[in-house]
A and B are shown apart, each in its own frame.
Chain A
Amino acid sequence: MDTLLDVRDLHVEFRTRDGVAKAVNGVNYSVNAGETLAVLGESGSGKSVTAQAIMGILDSPPGHITRGRIFFQGADVLSLHREARRVLRGARMAMIFQDALSALNPVLSVGDQLGEMFVVHRGLSRRDARARAVELMDRVRIPAARQRVGDYPHQFSGGMRQRIMIAMAMALEPDLIIADEPTTALDVTVQAQVMELLAELQREMRMGLILITHDLGVVADVADKIAVMYAGRIVETAPVHQIYQRPAHPYTKGLLDSIPRLDQKGQELYAIKGLPPSLLRIPPGCPFHPRCPMAQEVCRTDEPPLYEVGPKRGSACHFWKETLGG
């Protein structure tokens, strides 16, 4: 399979008033065409910052990419000229944001915002762009698209707005889509529909999809592989089912144990103790050690590399064998 996106040793830091926040610390992952990678982690784990670095929409300052490379279809995008980078955005890689209400421009009609993609990237006239906008809205199954194309974002329901976000990302049939918590802001009943739509369109167009989420439940049905992030690092990567059956990192295990399950009704729900570390003061050694039930002396001093624990599997834990076994 051909590699669509390859992120290598990416480091991002934010230089703030209070100090340097190390948001991403040596992330490696790759996505093939037609493949779905789920990036999992709590807020502040660096999953969204990595996505912004790939898209080239990092707020800079204060954000800076200090090391690493991002190859997209074989070319290192970080070395591209600003204009060349811009042409990629929207056309060949696109992003879906979490909160469509704030991510869509409140004072422009959805037709304008969808059509804009064709006007800017394809040089279509406003009228043709409008027609394409209606087609797109039809495609993401917004009822009465022709009548609603002139409406403003606030006039749509949350689910419909998120469909418009998806339509905007799909507009130019990009090769890569990054969906940053696309269903988090939605009602549970709508979540499934939107997720289904996203997966369906991805299959049709054979796009690579990076699905950023903190919700393990969303991942299982749609993802091919998973990368779990913690404190700006990838702590575990694995094909999707393996991780559910046998996690190789205590953090992943903790996440899985904290999902409520019907067969454990009545028992106390497991919770990972403590809080994620401040990115200004990441603990030395393994960043997870203050919260880890298996932590030993070595965890406080040596940062574990990403051990190869099986075919296409990695775990950044000194005690991965014990974790897999237990």
Chain B
Amino acid sequence: MGRYVIRRLLQMIPVFVGSTFLIFVMVYALGDPVAALFGERAPDPATAAQIRRDLYLDHPLWQQYTHYMAQIFQGNFGTAFTGQPVLELMGSAWPLTIRLTIVAIIVEAVIGVILGIITGLRRGRSVDTGVLVLTLIVVSIPTFVSGYVLQFLFGVKWGVVNPSVSPAASFDELALPGVVLALVSLAYVTRLTRTSIAENTRADYVRTAVAKGLPRRRVILRHLLRNSLIPVVTFIGTDIGALMGGAIVTERIFNIHGVGYQLYQGILRQNSPTVVGFVTILVIVFLVANLLVDLLYAVLDPRIRYA
């Protein structure tokens, strides 16, 4: 197991470098950050050159990249062009996005699995068909549409919730944004659970469990579910990173100043230290989540052994 973890960690390095470098290149292709800094005014050439030196911009791109990464691993994420340290921005943005992601994961796991079990056990009945069509519809509605529609209905028309989230962003305020963020994944979890359950109900070991005279409840909970949820748990695990990256739209709709919001602002304002800093952390979260999922897999399924 330890060997496997080390091998996976080593494999993560090129992926990490590749992803962050790609983003780095793209961000720097955005345009001249110094020009962006000065906006409409033409900068004094001497000042511009000084800033370039300070920001390491007078070096080739790959040197800029290695310099930047070295800084990051020393905990120095640089300063946004507004003068605010990027680390400070992160300190306020990450807790919001983490909370939002937690709400979304809970929503997709609980509702998705329950719907999946119900439909998987009743394959071909009207509940099954109904939920199945519903999941297709949910998958088809882009998040920004469902976000605005739900915000309008719950926030404006019925006045059940606040249409935009306060800076404190408590968990109950995040309920609606969390649902919006989770919606598409929720549909996937439902379908995945359903398929998995439906496949496993016909498995031999389920028949054995019935032949042993176990009560139906025990057959379902202990034998059927335990096996069927393995792919679902792993999907939800990999979804953590994806949800954080996908929060841009949701955070924009509900005016949550989380990671997605900062990234969006950073890109619009060509604020490269912010963008690269946030993306680096996102990529790390994503890679670590994937590794944990693979390890979890081995815990859930004793047949998997990592050498």
Interface residues of A (CB under 8 A from B): 55, 57, 59, 86-91, 94-95, 97, 99, 102-108, 116-117, 120-121, 152, 154, 168
Contact = CB atoms under 8 A, between A and B. Distances in A.
Nearest to B230: A107
B212 interface: yes
A171 B76 CA distance: 65
A154 B303 contact: yes
A91 B214 CA distance: 10
Contact of B205 (A88, A95, A102): A102
A57 B211 contact: yes
Given A103-B205, A103-B207, A104-B205, A90 B212 contact: yes
A41 to B, nearest CB: 20
B213 A90 contact: yes
Given A59-B202, A106-B302, A87 B213 contact: yes
A154 B302 contact: yes
A107 B213 contact: no
Interface in B273-307: 300-303
SS of B interface (majority): helix
Interface in B188-236: 202-205, 207-215, 218, 222-223, 226-227, 230
Contacts of B300: 107
A107 B301 contact: yes
A87 B213 CA distance: 6
Contacts, number: 74
7 contacts: A57-B211, A86-B215, A89-B210, A95-B211, A104-B205, A116-B212, A117-B212
B213 A86 contact: yes
Given A89-B211, A97-B207, A116-B214, 8 more contacts: A59-B202, A86-B215, A95-B208, A97-B211, A102-B205, A106-B227, A121-B213, A154-B302
B223 A106 contact: no
A292 to B, nearest CB: 35
Contact of A57 (B205, B210, B218, B223): B210
Centre residue among B210, B213, B223, B303 by max chain A CB count within 10 A: B213
Contacts of A57: 207, 210-211
Contacts of A87: 213
Return the 5 tightest CB-CB contacts between A and B, nearest first: A90-B213, A89-B213, A102-B204, A90-B212, A105-B205
B207 A106 contact: no
A103 B301 CA distance: 16
B211 A106 contact: no
Contacts of A59: 202
A116 B209 CA distance: 10
Contacts of B202: 59
A102 B203 contact: yes
